[in-house]
């Protein structure tokens, strides 16, 4: 008599709606398929929140979604987007019956994935749990999204000590695992496959002046869209004129067409300022390698830049990523024009200060976060 043993794989659904989610979940998907395929099965769901930007990430990491949802927004109401995301996700979970749903970050796709999972009583694993600015409206609506997802999640995978402590302060003591940030895993992957080929080449790089330093600028948070953006534009204008012969400034504009036009209208007359549309992931990494310093409000860049030895000026009044600021590889400068200019001038002219911000070990991870997460889910 012959006996057949069937091992049931645990099905894990990944909900991905934006480029940062794709970048930070891709290493876990890769690790699962390469090292945990006997025990775990992945189900990758693209929500449709940021289709174009996410398609680039999937291509870069060689991931094909199992499901690609579509949404049809009639206006810019956040409630409309959330409603359009939740229902198809819940129907999909009802059909596929995953054993666990992984969400990451703080977007509406993150919240929708968690809510749809909760409604189907599927346990939720929250990657990058515990980040807090302690200001409900900055970043908006991300801080509120984080708080709501935290309440629904079973497993909390935190990136740092501060994130773990934040959860404990909120009374969450169980199933908290400090694993580091998977964005470092993603950078290690990118370095391994290379991101300086023709496909990754950005237009500015082809005609750059090797004798000039370059400041990279990325501003995308909603709280910086109004008066704050004008303060930042003024700072860039001053730096451009002050260091006209020695400095290029590359500003990667927001996908919002009116915001992008506003920036371009204000700075287009400056020949050493280059305004470009959104770039793909490999192009961004390539530009970062040529950057002398970065001015940004991006959380992801704050986490990535230490791995590339690039000082960061954070154009926000608060940050949920204080580790880099306290360690010295980032500086919180807010959106005051004079503060931004003074901080940039110091880094451009004082090599001691500049070198002190470089060469700091990345406080956000060591490239092994994905394995730690999957080890927990397998146990």
Burial status of residue 207 (CB atoms within 10 A of its CB: 0-12, 13-18, 19 or more): exposed
Mark whether 358 is an active-site residue.
no
Tokens standing for residue 283 = 């192009």
Q: Which residues pair with 100 in a beta bridge?
A: 12
The active-site residue out of 154, 222, 262, 372 is 222
In which residue are the tokens 């036009």 written? 261
Q: How far does CA 54 lie from the centroid of its chain?
A: 12
Active-site hit among 56, 142, 303, 320: 142
Strands 124-127 and 67-68: unpaired
**Cβ atoms of residues 280 and 268 within 8 Å:** no
Under 8 Å between Cβ of 227 and 356: no
CA distance 302 to 311: 9
Instruction: Read off the tokens for 233.
Output: 């534009």
- Is 220 catalytic? The answer is yes
User: Which residue in 21, 90, 128, 297 is the catalytic one?
Assistant: 128
Which residue stretches of 127-196 are H helix?
142-152, 161-169, 182-193
The single residue of 146, 254, 286, 321 carrying the catalytic annotation is: 254
Does the active-site annotation cover 34?
A: no
Contacts 24+ apart (CB under 8 A), 77-84: 78/108, 78/141, 81/49, 81/108, 82/108, 82/111, 82/112
Catalytic status, residue 106: yes
Are the beta carbons of 133 and 163 closer than 8 angstroms? no
Question: Could you give the residue numbers annotated as active site?
Answer: 106, 128, 142, 220, 222, 254
């Amino acid at each position: 008599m012959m006996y057949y043993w069937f091992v049931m794989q645990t099905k894990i659904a990944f909900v991905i709606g934006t480029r940062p989610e794709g970048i930070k979940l891709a290493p876990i998907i890769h690790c699962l398929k390469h090292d945990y395929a006997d025990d775990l099965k992945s189900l990758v769901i693209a929500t449709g929140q940021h289709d174009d930007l996410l398609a680039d990430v999937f291509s870069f990491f060689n991931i094909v979604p199992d499901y690609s949802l579509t949404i049809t927004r009639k206006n810019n109401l956040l409630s409309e987007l959330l409603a359009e995301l939740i229902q198809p996700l819940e129907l999909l979970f009802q059909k596929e019956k995953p054993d666990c749903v992984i969400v990451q970050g703080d977007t509406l796709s993150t919240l929708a994935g968690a809510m749809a999972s909760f409604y189907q009583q599927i346990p939720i694993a929250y990657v990058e749990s515990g980040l807090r600015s302690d200001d409900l409206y900055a970043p908006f609506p991300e801080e509120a999204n984080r708080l709501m997802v935290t309440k629904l999640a079973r497993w909390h995978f935190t990136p740092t000590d501060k994130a773990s402590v934040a959860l404990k302060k909120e009374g969450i003591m169980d199933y908290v695992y400090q694993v580091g940030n998977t964005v470092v895993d993603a950078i290690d992957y990118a370095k391994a496959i290379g991101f300086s080929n023709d496909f990754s080449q950005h237009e500015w790089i082809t005609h750059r002046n090797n004798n000039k330093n370059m400041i990279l600028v990325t501003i995308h948070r909603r709280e910086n869209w109004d008066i704050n953006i004008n303060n930042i534009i003024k700072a860039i204008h001053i730096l451009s004129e002050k260091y006209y012969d020695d400095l290029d400034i590359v500003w990667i504009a927001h996908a919002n067409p009116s915001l992008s036009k506003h920036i371009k209208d204000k700075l287009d007359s400056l020949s050493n300022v280059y305004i470009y549309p959104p770039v793909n992931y490999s192009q961004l990494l390539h530009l970062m390698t040529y950057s002398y310093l970065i001015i940004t409000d991006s959380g992801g860049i704050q986490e990535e830049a230490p791995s590339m030895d690039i000082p960061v000026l954070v154009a926000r009044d608060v940050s949920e990523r204080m580790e880099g600021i306290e360690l010295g590889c980032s500086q919180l400068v807010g959106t005051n024009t004079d503060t931004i200019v003074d901080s940039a001038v110091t880094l451009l002219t004082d090599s001691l200060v500049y070198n002190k911000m470089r060469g700091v070990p990345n406080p956000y991870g060591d490239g092994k976060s994905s394995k730690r997460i999957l080890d927990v889910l397998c146990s």
